[in-house]
Amino acid sequence: MSKTLFNILGDISSFIALLPLLVAAFKFKSLNNVQQKLLYILIVILIVESISTILWYQKINNLPVYHFYTVIEFLLIMNIYVGELSQVYSKQLFVYLSIIFTVFAVINTIFFQNLFTFNSNVTTALGVIVVLFALSYFYKLLKEVKYSSLETNPMFWINSGFLIYFSSNLMLFFINNNLFKESTEASYLVWGLHAVVNIILIIFYTIAVWVNPKKQ
């Protein structure tokens, strides 16, 4: 992948979060609880990607941003699943997971992968946990007796986006940091593919805030 194409995909990936945010702003009064929780994620994404992009073009290492973002992202995702999977898992599980994950992220940064290194250990753990919860949510849907219109269910789109994004990027999150010490063609290809998957995720987010869920 050429550096030019990589930069284009990176810019699109960084600022496409504006699309669901604009939709959310337009429909703010009609957003349900899950859509409002997603809005928090979208705001954080836009802030993080803006800072990261500025640092990238200033040729400053932007990896420290993602060390903090990974923890925040995990907590916000848990905030979504704690309400949607309350019949499958106890709320205490989400509290314990949040504490353990945060402690693990801090320990990883201090002792194993410092702020200026890609925190692949933490992002891999994040990916595995979210994929498991995404599969649990689909299992919950299959177990429900009542019929529901999935195309108007925001959580269906959010969960589908999570499953596609995190399962696709597990290998990237786990890959050896040696690949990213220099801007090689291989690193451009891998991160370019990551940008494509991220764009797909944001499209799913956009659908999630666009649909009008049926009131229970």
Q: How far is the CA of 62 from the CAs of 36, 48, 108, 197, in angstroms?
A: 28, 10, 18, 20
pLDDT (tens digit, 9 = 90+) per residue, 117-176?
989 899 999 999 999 999 999 999 988 766 567 889 999 999 999 999 999 888 776 665
Dihedral sign computed on CA atoms, order 81, 50, 16, 125:
negative
Q: How far is the CA of 151 from the CAs of 30, 84, 140, 157, in angstroms?
A: 17, 17, 16, 8
Residues in the chain, how many? Answer: 216
Question: How much is the average pLDDT of 40-58?
Answer: 92
pLDDT greater than 80 at residue 189: no
- pLDDT for 126: 95
Say how far residue 143 (Cα) sits from the centre of its chain.
26
- pLDDT for 12: 82
pLDDT greater than 60 at residue 28: yes
Domains and CATH numbers, the chain: 3-210 (1.20.1070.10)
- pLDDT for 9: 76
- Work out the mean pLDDT of the chain and round it to a whole number: 88
| 71 pLDDT tier (thresholds 50, 70, 90) | very high
